[in-house]
Chains A and B, each alone.
Chain A
Amino acid sequence: MIEVNGVGVVSGDVTLLAPVSVTAQRGEALIVCGRNGTGKSTLLRVLAGVRKPSTGTARIGGEAVVERDRGFRRRVAAMIGLPPMAPDLTVLDHVTLVATTWLDDPGAAAPLARGVLAGLGLEALDERFPHELSSGQTQLFGLALVLARPFEVLILDEPEQRLDPEHLKSVSRVLRARRDGGATLVVATHSPVLEDELADRTLRLDAAA
């Protein structure tokens, strides 16, 4: 599903990502580990199509990564930083709206949204506005927005940020379920919990750099 061949990123004289090669199959989770500054987020940005590699190629589903391509957008979901949030919508409104735009049956959006929120332990917060959430709840909310849409590949940058151990377990459980359902996950993380519970393959960028 994912093929990365010698992908490296250089900005001026600075190497943001030393050339790396890795693959991940359908239904596998690729965990990307490494010290700060070794290029984890940069690799994720290349896979999400918002950063062009200086060297090498990246392909998803056998096709080149092109962010403007509708098929690619449908296939790949990404959360690298928090997604934009509308200040005038509640948590449930947000997630339902995202689901509504993807589903043919509008009536199915609200139950799907409630399911996603329940999976992440956010069901009690569904009537809150974004500015009423704590930083950890906002992180979970961002994940809920991404999980409310269909995808074949899910790219996440440090989803463990600001989460307590209990919610981290919830996230791990939800991501495992998505992986077992056939999605390919690419997760950059510093969390040993996520690595232990998710990893089918691990790419350590310390070594690569």
Chain B
Amino acid sequence: MSGRSRGAVGIWRARNARTPRDRAYLVYAVLMVGLVAIVPVARAVWLSATSEAGVAVFASPAAPGVAALVVAALWAGALLLGRDRGPAVLPPFLTHALATSDLPRSDPFLAPVLRAGALVIAVTTIASVLVGGSLLSHGLTDSLGVALFIAVGALVGVIATVAWLAGQAFPRTAIPVALGVLALGAVTAAVPLMQPFTPWGWVGLSYPGNGSPHVLAVLTALTAALTTAVPTLLNRLDLAGLSAQAARWESATTHAAGMDFGAAATVYQGRPHIGRRIRAIRPAGQLPLTFLIRDAIGATRTPGRLIVGVLAITSAGVLIALAFAPVTPGWLLGAAAGLLVFAGLGPLTDGIRHAASVTSDFPLYGISDERLLANHALFPLVTVAVVLLVAVILCSIIAGIGVAEPIVSSLTIGLLALIARVSNALKGSLPTALLTPIPTPMGDLSAAARITWALDAVLLAALAGTVGTLAFESPILLIGVTAALIGVGINRWRDRG
């Protein structure tokens, strides 16, 4: 970084200079979060990875192929992520000041890339330590093989960072390249003979137990070649793209800091660009049908979101069916299914969110708020029911599980997740009462209360998934969660606007 860039960044940072007391508190807070939240989770992950079940997964014959596929997916994901939020992001004002100067963009924007890269490399390295350590702990590999794999893990992180930046510099090209990487990754995982010919395949070849030092040399050469492209990629970034990403990131982090995760997610929500010539409003004769068609056509205008949503609901259907298999942890699969249905409903409930915002504004539509919301609920209700039914029935038949119970369970979970979506849309801003400290012998619990409020719909959806799969064993739990969901929703409906 040149002196000019360093000077500008220094002025920017000096605006919020921390006192020694603030710094001490920050260190204390980081230590406490690490000890209370991160260490137990890390320990649980390590114990899980080194357990018999964990080692069985990592030592399976398919593991190298899966590792190759995961790495291909990581690089493809990095390319796609860079289109919306690349690693070269600074605060909006700093972006404007530095990007409109005559400095080459590789000068001021290298530092945020290095910071982001350090994080990615740390994650991929830790993942490789986890896999290698697990196998080493059971004597299934030697130290050299683990060291080799850890080095490969770090290189994977470097390449992921370059791919992330490439996605930011070439947002249009990133999509076909990412899809190509993903497709070839799947082929490599399915056909091991392909492994020597693809970079992600090299990662599979370096898997502990059969790793080769030659692979490390080849991957190092590839990484070195790619990193030389970083300045060129940085200098390709344009002002409009940099400013847009900076503004969106600041907006998203501001919303997230205020516990408004829905608004934060909306900042990165895909905008429609296709299907504009298809009339979404058709004289159907009956308003519910008009709204059903309107929401369906609206959803197809962002096909990527719609496909992801339907896939998430389909996956949930598979999990619900498997939850009724004899030896699976049904409650856990149910919770995961609840979360997936809730997530999958996101792209299908744009109409519900619009209705929620309309009901707290001046009258616009010629129908009551209740009818408006009910009409907008039709499309997600029909879609979630159809997709879940198809997935549950097919999966149950293939797995040889009885169909009746998964069907009832899936419809229940779908309905409850939709209620959670409606309730979430009506949420409004954080109640001021939650800003009040809640002193306890264990410390101030107000932050936990705020997080619970912010994530209540997600938590209730997971709970709905669990009680939905346990409906035949403990119907009282289902009744309790349903009552809680409806109660929260009605309360928010009354308080709207």
Is A86 on the interface with B (CB-CB < 8 A)? yes
**Contact, CB under 8 Å: A97 / B281:** yes
**Contact, CB under 8 Å: A73 / B363:** yes
**Contact, CB under 8 Å: A86 / B362:** no
**Contact, CB under 8 Å: A86 / B287:** no
Q: How many A-B contacts are there with CB distance less than 8 Å?
A: 100
Please tell me which one of the listed residues B294, B358, B364, B365 contacts residue A89 in the complex, with CB atoms under 8 A apart: B294
Number of B positions contacting A (CB below 8 A): 34
Interface size on A, as a range, is 35 or more
Quote the shortest CB–CB distance from A149 to chain B (angstroms): 6
Is A171 on the interface with B (CB-CB < 8 A)? no
Q: Which of A144-176 contact B (CB under 8 A)?
A: 145-146, 149-150
The chain A residue with its CB closest to the CB of B356 is A84
CA distance A207 to B320 in the complex (A): 69
Please tell me which one of the listed residues A67, A78, A106, A129 contacts residue B290 in the complex, with CB atoms under 8 A apart: A106
Please tell me which one of the listed residues B271, B351, B358 contacts residue A131 in the complex, with CB atoms under 8 A apart: B271
The chain A residue with its CB closest to the CB of B271 is A131
The chain A residue with its CB closest to the CB of B269 is A87
The chain B residue with its CB closest to the CB of A45 is B362
B 344-373 to A, binary, CB cutoff 8 A, 1 in contact else 0: 000000110010011001111111100010
The chain B residue with its CB closest to the CB of A151 is B363
**Contact, CB under 8 Å: B294 / A97:** yes
Please tell me which one of the listed residues B281, B294, B350, B362 contacts residue A80 in the complex, with CB atoms under 8 A apart: B362
CB-CB under 8 A from B372, the residues of chain A are 101
Quote the shortest CB–CB distance from A70 to chain B (angstroms): 7
CA distance A76 to B283 in the complex (A): 26
CA distance A131 to B272 in the complex (A): 9
Contacts A86-B351, A100-B287 known; A93 to B281 CB distance under 8 Å? Answer: yes
**Contact, CB under 8 Å: B281 / A109:** yes
CA distance A109 to B287 in the complex (A): 12
CA distance A98 to B355 in the complex (A): 12
- Among the 9-residue stretches B24-32, B170-178, B297-305, B388-396, the one with 4 or more Cβ atoms under 8 Å from chain A is B297-305
Quote the shortest CB–CB distance from A33 to chain B (angstroms): 22
Is A83 on the interface with B (CB-CB < 8 A)? yes
Quote the shortest CB–CB distance from B446 to chain A (angstroms): 26
**Contact, CB under 8 Å: A129 / B285:** no
**Contact, CB under 8 Å: B277 / A109:** no
19 A-B pairs with CB atoms under 8 Å apart are: A67-B363, A76-B363, A79-B362, A84-B357, A85-B354, A86-B350, A87-B271, A87-B272, A88-B298, A93-B279, A93-B281, A96-B279, A96-B281, A98-B364, A100-B283, A100-B287, A101-B367, A109-B283, A129-B276
Residues of B participating in the A interface, judged by any CB pair closer than 8 Å:
269, 271-273, 276-277, 279-281, 283-285, 287, 290, 294, 298-299, 301-302, 350-351, 354, 357-358, 361-368, 372, 497
